[in-house]
């Protein structure tokens, strides 16, 4: 339903700048960025964007007109709040992600017109108008704030801006440089009685886990060759453990290799009872979470298995519940205090999404969390490990699997804002697991 407004109708405000907006939106360098942001705010659909992109030989003006026409229809829709729709359009034009000065000016101008009452009905200035130099009315101000609040709650707010500097958390050089490994070929007696399998993925994640393995074992780590793989055994805290990284190269990242390696180790080491996938995840909401915070999985949500339609991708993977016993064992506190760097990381538990690929796109990220709104983070290995368990039916009941990872970025492609945080996030997770197993 269109909202009554004291000034010009929102559709009229937009129509006045229609001819200026169209060629700006239609420029190829702006088109994808602007339409992705319109889609994120539910102003247009992917189907509509794809249909326009499929039209050959459109010039910039024509391409932009197609999008502008869709926005006019949205503003004229009786079932829509037209003022709210126009504010969303202004938000996109003024966004740092779009970063286009002519569009920014047009957005600011439309916002001001929307907030200004008509001359015939000009009321006395409200407190907001007196205090706010942008001269937003109460209605305009509240609509803007509500729009921003909804973005925050959905985890879709912008994370542009100054990067958060990671703390300096140095390794003890004596431990980090030790690498005093005893090389062995595999035999069952070398792994007899070992119950913990620790699965970092990348080299960065593996480095953090190996540091605590070497610290606990006082350098007496055994390096074992097993069917082309290399595993390391020793103590992790007070527990005997096997460490193997599932993705030593970028071409081996993800659930497939995690499943293969887990299956291989379960076949060779009959004593394994606990499997912990450790490392780095992407966070959901920078307003409620911080880089380096540790997420403990209570559910692993499989977004690996999907069906791709013409216009939409459908999730077909299931949810794997993490056993209450292991969740309880690893939920020992709500934070980790690191005295040597005077830093504290929050620890949270909840569902974690597993995807088959790295997520560096805010629209893709938003879609994932819309499908699983209670999830706290996303990563790439958990569902693969769970799938491996299903192929060990005789042992499935006796195996506990959990994902414990630190937030290293926000999955939005803004690498500059999170630069240097992945090693810290990996170490936060490794440190936390070590602290629990050291009791």
Q: What are phi and psi of 9, to 5 degrees?
A: -60, 140
- Kindly indicate the confidence band of residue 302, based on its pLDDT and cuts at 50, 70 and 90: very high
- What is the average pLDDT across 198-204? 96
pLDDT of amino acid 121: 39
| CATH number of 341's domain | 3.40.50.1580
Listed in sequence order, the residues at least 6 apart from 428 whose beta carbon sits closer than 8 Å to its beta carbon are: 292, 293, 294, 336, 345, 406
Which pTM was predicted? 0.64
Q: Is the domain of 106 the same as that of 14? A: yes
- Per-residue 3-state assignment (H helix, E strand, C coil) for 376-435: CEEECCHHHHHHHHHCCCCCHHHCEEEEEEEEEECCCCCHHHHCCHHHHHHHHHHHHHHH
CB-based contact 239:434 (threshold 8 Å): no
- Kindly indicate the confidence band of residue 7, based on its pLDDT and cuts at 50, 70 and 90: low
Q: Is the domain of 180 the same as that of 132? A: no
Read off the pLDDT of residues 91-104 as tens digits, 9 standing for 90 and up: 999 988 888 888 99
Q: Is the domain of 283 the same as that of 430? A: yes
| Residue 296: other Cβ atoms inside 10 A | 24
Let me know if residue 4 belongs to a domain.
Answer: no
Domain boundary among 119, 151, 183: 151
Q: Is the domain of 362 the same as that of 318? A: yes
Q: Is the domain of 200 the same as that of 347? A: yes
CA atoms of 424 and 407, how far apart (whole Å)? 9
Let me know if residue 2 belongs to a domain.
Answer: no
Let me know if residue 166 belongs to a domain.
Answer: no
User: Taking 60 as the threshold, does the pLDDT of residue 379 lie above it?
Assistant: yes
pLDDT of amino acid 3: 43
Span between the terminal Cα atoms of the chain, in Å? 60
CA atoms of 380 and 373, how far apart (whole Å)? 18
CA atoms of 134 and 111, how far apart (whole Å)? 9
pLDDT of amino acid 1: 46
Q: Is the domain of 299 the same as that of 354? A: yes
| Residue 146: other Cβ atoms inside 10 A | 12
Q: Is the domain of 213 the same as that of 145? A: no
Helices 28-40 and 362-371 sit at what angle, rounded to 10 degrees? 20
Q: Is the domain of 137 the same as that of 181? A: no
Let me know if residue 167 belongs to a domain.
Answer: no
User: Taking 90 as the threshold, does the pLDDT of residue 58 lie above it?
Assistant: no
Domain boundary among 151, 186, 220: 151
DSSP string of 163-218? PPPPP--PPPHHHHTT--EEEEE--HHHHTT--EEEEE-SHHHHHHHHHHHHHHHT
CA atoms of 425 and 167, how far apart (whole Å)? 11
Q: Is the domain of 15 the same as that of 47? A: yes
- Domain that residue 140 falls in: 10-151
3-state secondary structure (DSSP) of residue 134: coil
Bridge partners (DSSP) of residue 349 are 296
Listed in sequence order, the residues at least 6 apart from 351 whose beta carbon sits closer than 8 Å to its beta carbon are: 297, 298, 299, 300, 301, 319, 372, 374, 375, 376
pLDDT of amino acid 320: 93
Q: Is the domain of 123 the same as that of 253? A: no
What length is written for the chain?
439
Domain boundary among 116, 151, 186: 151
Listed in sequence order, the residues at least 6 apart from 85 whose beta carbon sits closer than 8 Å to its beta carbon are: 10, 43, 71, 74, 75
- Kindly indicate the confidence band of residue 166, based on its pLDDT and cuts at 50, 70 and 90: confident
How far is CA 332 from its chain centroid?
25
Let me know if residue 213 belongs to a domain.
Answer: yes
Let me know if residue 164 belongs to a domain.
Answer: no
Q: Which pair of structure tokens corresponds to residue 127? A: 């407190």
Name the more confident of 121 and 409.
409
Let me know if residue 3 belongs to a domain.
Answer: no
CB-based contact 194:242 (threshold 8 Å): yes
How many independent structural domains does the chain possess?
Answer: 2
pLDDT of amino acid 342: 75
Q: Is the domain of 147 the same as that of 177? A: no
Q: Is the domain of 113 the same as that of 224? A: no
CA atoms of 436 and 236, how far apart (whole Å)? 10
Let me know if residue 325 belongs to a domain.
Answer: yes
CB-based contact 284:376 (threshold 8 Å): yes
Please identify which residue in the block is written with the tokens 């994640």. 205
What element of type H or E holds 232? Answer: strand 229-236
Of 56-60, 145-149, 222-226, the poorest mean pLDDT is in 145-149
Contacts from 182-190 at CB under 8 Å and sequence distance 24+? 182/220, 182/221, 182/222, 182/223, 183/223, 183/225, 184/222, 184/223, 184/224, 184/225, 185/224, 185/225, 186/224, 186/225, 186/226, 186/227, 186/268, 190/222, 190/224, 190/233
How large is the C-alpha radius of gyration of the chain? 26
Read off the pLDDT of residues 118-155 as tens digits, 9 standing for 90 and up: 444 333 333 223 223 333 333 343 444 444 454 444 44
């Amino acid at each position: 339903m269109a909202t009554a407004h004291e000034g010009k109708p929102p559709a009229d405000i937009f129509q006045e700048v229609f001819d200026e907006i169209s060629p700006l939106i239609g420029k190829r360098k702006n088109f994808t960025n602007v339409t992705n942001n319109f889609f994120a705010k539910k102003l247009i659909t992917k189907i509509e964007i794809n249909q326009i992109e499929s039209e050959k030989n459109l010039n910039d003006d024509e391409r932009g007109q197609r999008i502008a026409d869709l926005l006019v229809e949205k503003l004229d829709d009786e079932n829509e709040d037209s003022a709210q729709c126009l504010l969303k359009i202004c938000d996109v034009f003024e966004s740092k992600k779009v970063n286009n000065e002519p569009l920014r000016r047009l957005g600011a101008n439309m916002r001001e017109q929307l907030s200004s009452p008509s001359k015939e009905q000009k009321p006395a200035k409200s407190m907001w108008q007196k205090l706010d130099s942008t001269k937003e009315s109460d209605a305009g101000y509240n609509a803007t704030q509500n729009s921003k609040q909804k973005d925050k709650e959905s985890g879709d707010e912008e994370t542009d801006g100054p990067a958060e500097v990671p703390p300096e958390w140095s390794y003890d050089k004596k431990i980090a440089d030790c690498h005093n490994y005893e090389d062995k070929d595999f035999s069952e007696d070398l792994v007899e009685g070992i119950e913990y399998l620790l699965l970092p993925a990348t080299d960065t994640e593996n480095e953090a886990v190996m540091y605590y393995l070497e610290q606990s074992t006082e350098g007496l780590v055994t390096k074992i060759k097993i069917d082309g793989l290399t595993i390391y055994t020793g103590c992790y805290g007070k527990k005997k453990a096997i460490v193997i990284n599932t993705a030593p190269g970028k071409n081996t990242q993800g659930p497939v290799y995690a499943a293969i390696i887990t299956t291989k180790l379960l076949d060779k080491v009959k004593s394994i009872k606990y499997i912990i996938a450790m490392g780095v995840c992407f966070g959901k909401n920078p307003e409620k979470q911080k880089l380096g915070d540790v997420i403990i999985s209570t559910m692993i949500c499989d977004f690996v298995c999907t069906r791709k339609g013409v216009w939409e991708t459908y999730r077909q993977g299931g949810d794997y519940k993490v056993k209450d016993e292991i969740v309880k064992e690893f939920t020992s506190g709500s934070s980790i205090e690191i005295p040597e760097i005077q830093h504290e990381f929050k620890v949270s538990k909840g569902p974690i999404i597993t995807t088959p690929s790295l997520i560096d796109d805010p629209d893709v990220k938003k879609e994932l969390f819309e499908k699983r709104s209670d999830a706290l983070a996303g990563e790439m290995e958990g569902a693969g490990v769970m799938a491996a368990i299903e192929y060990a039916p005789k042992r499935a009941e006796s195996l506990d699997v959990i994902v414990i990872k630190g937030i290293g970025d926000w999955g939005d492609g803004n690498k500059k804002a999170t630069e240097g945080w992945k090693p810290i996030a990996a170490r936060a997770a490794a440190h936390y697991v070590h602290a629990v197993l050291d009791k």
